[in-house]
Structure 1
Amino acid sequence: MCAVAPLALPALAGVAPRAVPVFHAGSTMATYADGGAPAVMRGYGGYEDVGADIDALLRDIHAAVLQRTPPGHAPQPVAAGADQPVNHDDFDLEPVLRDIRSIRIPAAGFAGPDPVDSAVGTPTTPLASLPAPFSYGDAAAEDAADSAASTTTTQTSPKKQQDPGQIYDAEIDATFRAMEQDPAERPSALYLWTVQEGVITLADRANVVAWMYNFVGYYGLAPGTLHRAVSYVDRFLSSRKVNGYNVSGHLLLLGSVAVFTAAKYEDRRATLALNADGIACWHVGCSRRDVVDAERALCAALGCRLSGPTAYTFVEHFTRHGNDGGGADEGSTTVRSLAHHLADVALLDYRCIRFLPSTVAASAIALATLSMNPAASWSDDEIRVTGYTLEDLATCMDEIEETHGLQGAWPGCAQMTEDYMRSYGLLPH
C-alpha cells in the first residue's frame, strides 16, 4: 500500500486540508486515512453517491474566494471536514468578477500591456474613432459612403501596365543584340590573312557563297538557311586552316555541310529532302563518312553554338510591325523583300564581315527604302526600331551598293539579282 502526499495550492493556503486518500493495491476503491467514505468515480459500477465529493470541492473554492474578499466584507469561516451541503444560491460571484475585470490582456503583437499614464491612470494610446452607423434606407449616407469608396479606389488604383507585346519585343531585341556581339558568335574580319594566310582568296569565298545560294534554292530550304550557313563557314575558317591541296574541294565540302547543318537547325523536316548520302553522291563526290566527319568537325569548331542571329534575322525583326497580319501593305512588303535581296548580296562581299548582322540588316532596309522612294527619309521610328542613324550606316550602305552595282565582279551577284527580278517583277535599283 502506498500513500499519496497531500497537494496544497497557493490559492487555498489556510484552508484545512482534507483527509488523504489511500489507494489499495489491486483495487479501484480509495478510502481516506481517517476512515471516511470511499470516493465515488463516475462511470464505474458499485458507487451510488457523488454529492459528498462535489460539496467538499465547492467548500474549498468558496473558502478561497472568501479569503480574497475586499475590506468591508466579513469572511464566512468554513469548518474543515464539515458535512453540511453548500447552498449554491448563497455563492457570491461579485469578487470573482471583480478580479476578472482587473486583468489586462496585451494586444496581439505586443510583448506587454498598453502604456499607462502614471498621473492619470489611463492608457496613453489613442483609441480609434469609428463613424456612427447609419440605418438601412438612409440614401444620403449610402451615397456618401459609395463616393468615399470610389475616391479611395481611384487614389489607390495602380498605374496602367505596359503592353505585354512591347515587353516581349524588347526582350527579344535585347537578346539578339547581346548574341550578335558575343565573340563566340562572331567571325574574324581578317581570317583570310591571319588564319588562312592567303590560301583562300576573296573570289574563292564568293564562289562558295554563290554555290551555297544555288544549293539552298535547289532544295527549297527554309528562309534564313543561307545566312546561317555562311556564318558557319566564316566562323569555321576563322579557327581552322584549310590545307593548300584541293582548296576548292575542301571549301565545297565545308559549304555543303554548313548548309545541311543550318537547314536542320531552321527546319527539322529538312532531312526529308537532304541527307548525308545525297550530299556525298550528288554534290561533293566523296563518301558518306567524309560528310559526317566534316559535320562533326564543323560543330566542334563552332562549339555547338548554332543559334546566333544573322542579317536575315534582323531584317525580319526590324520589319515585323510593318508586315504583320493586320498592318502589311504593298509598299512595306516590297521594301522588306528588297532588303532581303540586298542582305543576300552583302554575303558575297568579304568586307561586310566586319559589320554586325544588325548593321547589315539596317543598311539593307535603308537602301531599300530610299530606292523605292528617293524622297523618303530615315524617320525617328526607324531609328528607334533599328538603333541606327543614317550616319551610322553610311559605310555599310556604300559597300552594299558598290557590290550590287559591280555584278560582274562578284560571282553569283548577277544571278541573285536575276532571281530577285523574276520573283518580284521589279528592278532593285
Structure 2
Amino acid sequence: MSFRRDTHPYVVLIPNNAFARHLGDLPQGTLCRAVAYLDRVLTVRPVPSHDEALRLVAAAAVSLADKYEQTSSERRLDADVVEEFVGTTVAAVEAMERELVMDLDCVMDGPTAFTFVERFTRFFKRKDEFLVRTLALRLVDLTLPEFRFVGQILPSAVAASALFLARQILAVPLSNHPEELTGYKAVELMGCIEAMAMLMPEPKP
C-alpha cells in the first residue's frame, strides 16, 4: 500500500522526527532542506504507508540535508541511534540516501524558504533587524509540518510572508521596506501571512 503526497501529512515526519532531534546541533536550515528533499522525492516515487518505511525515508532526507548544510562535517551515523530511532541499520539509511540522490537527479542545492529569508535579510545591520530575521526563520520552521505550505506555496513567498509577519509582530522599522526586500506586495501574500499567523502558539496567560 502506498500514499499520495496530497493525502498524507508526511512532512510531520521531519521536524518531529526523533532521529533528527537526537542528532542535535543540526546546522540552521537543515530541516527546511530535508522537507524540500522529501517533497521533491514524493513527486516521483510512491512511499509505503507503514511507519518503518516512512521513518527510513525521513531519516535519509535529514541525513542528506545535514551533509549538504555542513559539507565539512565528519558526523557519522551511529548504529545504535539508527536502530533505536529508525528501526533499521546504518547501511539501510545510507542505501536510501543514494536512492534519494538519484530521485533528486543529484540536484542537492536549490532555494528553500530558509535560504530566501537569509537572502532577503543579507544587508541587515541593526540588532532589531536581526531580531526580525530570527523571528522570520522561526515562522518558516512552523510551516514545515504543514502541507498547505510545503509544495503548495513558493519558498520565496513563504519567506517573504514570514518577513512581513515578523516585522509586524516586532514593530521594527527596517532599513528597506519588505516589499523592496522581497519583491512581493503585502496584498499578494495576505492569505499566506494569515495562515502563518494562525500557526503561532497562543501566548501563555
Q: Quickly name the TM-score band, shorter chain normalised.
A: 0.7 to 0.9
Distance across 1 between alignment mates of 2:4 and 2:68? 31
Asked whether the equivalents of residues 254 and 294 of structure 1 are also in contact (C-alpha less than 8 Å), the reply is yes
Identify which of structures 1 and 2 has the higher relative contact order when contacts are C-alpha pairs closer than 8 Å and 6+ apart. Answer: 2
Figure out how many residues of one structure are paired with residues of the other and give that number.
202
Q: Give the helix-richer structure, 1 or 2.
A: 2
Quote the residue 1:339 is aligned against.
Answer: 136
Task: Describe the SS at the equivalent of 1:210.
Answer: coil
Moved more, 279-288 or 290-299: 279-288
Distance across 2 between alignment mates of 1:321 and 1:347? 26
Distance across 1 between alignment mates of 2:164 and 2:6? 35
Report whether the alignment pairs 1:231 with 2:29: no
Q: 1:346 to 1:214 in 2, by over 3 A?
A: farther
Query: Residues 171-250 of structure 1: matches in 2 within 5 Å?
Result: 196-197=3-4, 201-202=8-9, 205-212=10-17, 215=20, 218-244=23-49, 247-250=50-53
Asked whether the equivalents of residues 378 and 390 of structure 1 are also in contact (C-alpha less than 8 Å), the reply is no
Report whether the alignment pairs 1:253 with 2:56: yes
Deviation of 1:279 (Å): 5.1
Distance across 2 between alignment mates of 1:368 and 1:199? 29
The one-letter code sitting in structure 2 at the alignment partner of 1:201 is: H
**1:211-239 deviations in whole A, cap 9, x for unaligned?**
24871574201111111111111111121
Distance across 2 between alignment mates of 1:371 and 1:228? 26
Deviation of 1:381 (Å): 3.6
> Given the two structures, how large is their TM-score scaled by the length of structure 1?
0.43
Distance across 2 between alignment mates of 1:199 and 1:394? 23
Over aligned residue pairs, what C-alpha RMSD do you find? 2.7
In structure 2, stretches of 5+ residues that fail to align are none
Q: 1:378 to 1:363 in 2, by over 3 A?
A: farther
Quote the residue 1:392 is aligned against.
Answer: 188
Deviation of 1:200 (Å): 5.5
Distance across 2 between alignment mates of 1:281 and 1:217? 12
Asked whether the equivalents of residues 276 and 291 of structure 1 are also in contact (C-alpha less than 8 Å), the reply is no
Asked whether the equivalents of residues 242 and 250 of structure 1 are also in contact (C-alpha less than 8 Å), the reply is yes
Asked whether the equivalents of residues 60 and 96 of structure 2 are also in contact (C-alpha less than 8 Å), the reply is yes
Asked whether the equivalents of residues 12 and 146 of structure 2 are also in contact (C-alpha less than 8 Å), the reply is no
Task: Describe the SS at the equivalent of 1:342.
Answer: helix
Deviation of 1:395 (Å): 1.2
Q: 1:362 to 1:197 in 2, by over 3 A?
A: closer
Report whether the alignment pairs 1:296 with 2:94: no
Distance across 2 between alignment mates of 1:333 and 1:213? 30
Equivalent pairs: percent with the same residue?
A: 32
Query: Residues 156-171 of structure 1: matches in 2 within 5 Å?
Result: none
> Given the two structures, how large is their TM-score scaled by the length of structure 2?
0.86
Task: Describe the SS at the equivalent of 1:238.
Answer: coil
Quote the residue 1:282 is aligned against.
Answer: 84
Report whether the alignment pairs 1:305 with 2:107: yes
Asked whether the equivalents of residues 112 and 155 of structure 2 are also in contact (C-alpha less than 8 Å), the reply is yes
In structure 1, stretches of 5+ residues that fail to align are 1-194, 408-426
**1:235-256 deviations in whole A, cap 9, x for unaligned?**
1112111124xx2211111111
Asked whether the equivalents of residues 233 and 255 of structure 1 are also in contact (C-alpha less than 8 Å), the reply is yes
Task: Describe the SS at the equivalent of 2:107.
Answer: coil
